[in-house]
Structure 1
Amino acid sequence: MIDLYVYYKVREEDAALLAPRVCAMQERLACMGATCQLKRRPESRDGLQTWMEVYPVALASFAATVEQAAIEAKLAEYIQGPRRAEVFMDLPPCA
């Protein structure tokens, strides 16, 4: 299992238009059994917000499912630059 983090930039003026699309996409993914979170950095820089979708404890193949869902939800219309995905896995406990 992996934790998937997807982050991207959003113009402040597009945030209210993008949020419902991301939420609808994540609702569809949740119906498939995914745990979904949406976060953003508290500050903006140069009129851009940084958003992050978090999908903890997912199958490694789930990254492709998320990207296909993002295409279907037409998120790219409101995203500045690329969506970047990072995958992390658990390490054995230290204690």
Structure 2
Amino acid sequence: MIDLYVYYKVRDADAAHLAPRVRAMQAQLGSPAQLKRRPEARAGLQTWMEVYPSVPAAFAGAVEQAALEAGLHSFIDGPRRSEVFTDLPSSL
């Protein structure tokens, strides 16, 4: 299992339109998810992060397909970037 973090930039003017779409997409994926943002905006852009804890490695592809189908890219400035983290073994 992995923890998946997906982050991207959102224009201030698009935030209110994008948030319900992301939340609906996350609900359809059927896995516990979080939607976060940095507290400050820079140059009219907010940084948002979707967090998917304890999901299978293949889940990253499902998230990106769901984002395409939900039309999220039209509200995002630039690419969606994904990072994967795993638990640190207790022996370290």
Q: CA deviation at 1:46?
A: 0.5
For residues 33-80 of structure 1, the C-alpha deviation after alignment (integer angstroms, 9 at most, x for no partner) is x11100000000000000000000000000000000000000001000
Task: State the partner residue of 2:41.
Answer: 44
| SS of 1:69 mapped into structure 2 | helix
Distance in 2 (alpha carbons) for counterparts of 1:11 and 1:94: 44
Task: State the partner residue of 1:18.
Answer: 18
TM normalised by structure 1 equals 0.93
Task: State the partner residue of 2:90.
Answer: 93
Task: State the partner residue of 1:56.
Answer: 53
- Structure 1: gaps spanning 5 or more residues: none
AA at the equivalent of 1:10: V
TM normalised by structure 2 equals 0.96
AA at the equivalent of 1:27: A
Q: CA deviation at 1:92?
A: 1.3
| Cα RMSD, aligned residues only | 1.1
| SS of 1:23 mapped into structure 2 | helix
For residues 3-36 of structure 1, the C-alpha deviation after alignment (integer angstroms, 9 at most, x for no partner) is 0000000000100000111011011012xxx111
- Structure 2: gaps spanning 5 or more residues: none
Distance in 1 (alpha carbons) for counterparts of 2:10 and 2:69: 18
Distance in 2 (alpha carbons) for counterparts of 1:16 and 1:23: 12
Distance in 1 (alpha carbons) for counterparts of 2:52 and 2:36: 11
Q: How many residues align?
A: 92
